[in-house]
Amino acid sequence: MQELMRQFGTILRQITQHKWAWPFMQPVDVKGLGLDDYYEVIDKPMDFSTIKNQMEAKDGTGYKNVREICADVRLVFKNAMKYNAEKSDVHVMAKTLLEKFEERWLQLLPKVTEEEKRRDEEESVAQMDMQLAQEAAYAKLARDISNELYEVDLHLEELREMVVRKCRKISTEDKRNIGTALSLLSPEDLLKALEIVAQNNPSFQSTAEEINLDMDAQSESTLWRLKFFVKDALEVQGKTSLSTGADNNNTNNSNKNKNNHSNSNQKVQNNKRKREICDAIAISAKKRSKKPHDRITENIVKGDAEFHMNSERAFS
């Protein structure tokens, strides 16, 4: 690219040294020439001194490639042709120099195209190399993590075996209790328990339709893990059952309170009815007591008493 910039600089010197290049060497003196409408016609003014300064810029604001310089050179002449009348001297001078520039640019263009293609390939290769390097770094990181996890698993297995060796042996009664506890587990917990067995016994099919689990054939570590698992699972099931039972008791107590309230109301009504009957009997007895014959009165009172007793029995 530096070589192309050098060759393009040669073309640019040939154009700027032409006898008709002088109107385009410096920015247009808009105010001095009284060109009040210049900025209304020209959107982006350009001249060769501005191009030269940008080519020599060292702060990173300069041209990145020769196509950018080429575009500004064309802009110098096209601005002049756009603002000045077609038959004017400036228009003719700009058109002539633009044609000469295009001829020299066509000679340099194949080299520019080749260089751009080479740069694109280099950038593509560099991008691919960067991507491959990143993927390699990620793969190495994944391997390192995998190795570390493998070592941790081995260490945990060693610790597990050491704990099992230091623990007492699972007794026959313990094995029987574990088997009984397994039968009390929910389907979900039972499946988890069978998965524990399968971890240390690859040939064991935890998802088979019929499973024959021989407790004597299991390792000590498997039996200890099963023991702790079924203990925790049954405790959780017990808490869930207690919670459900408490809800049912609350419902039963509520219904019982309603029944007691209904019975109390019925009892009040019965007592009220008894008082009404007793009052009626007393009034009747009082009226009969005014008759002249005591024997008749005694019989009436006696009959009223029997009626009162029968009434109480009927309402009790």
Mean pLDDT (10-residue bins), the chain, 316 residues? 84 93 94 92 95 86 88 96 94 96 93 86 81 87 89 84 73 84 84 81 67 77 83 85 62 56 54 51 44 43 43 41
Q: Please tell me the number of Cα atoms within 13 Å of 168 on its side-chain side.
A: 4
Question: How many Å apart are CA 44 and CA 203, to the nearest integer?
Answer: 81
**Which has the closest alpha carbon to 115: 37, 221, 3, 206?**
3
Indicate the SS3 state at residue 19: coil
Widest pairwise Cα distance in the chain: 170
Predicted structure pTM score: 0.44
Q: Which run of H or of E encompasses 307?
A: helix 294-315
Phi, psi of 18 (to 5 degrees): -70, 150
Phi, psi of 261 (to 5 degrees): -65, -40
Phi, psi of 38 (to 5 degrees): -60, -50
Q: What is the pLDDT of residue 290?
A: 45
Which residues have CB under 8 Å from 74's CB, separation 6+?
98, 101
**Which has the closest alpha carbon to 96: 115, 107, 80, 119?**
80
Q: What is the pLDDT of residue 190?
A: 84
Task: Report residue 163 as tokens.
Answer: 């704990």
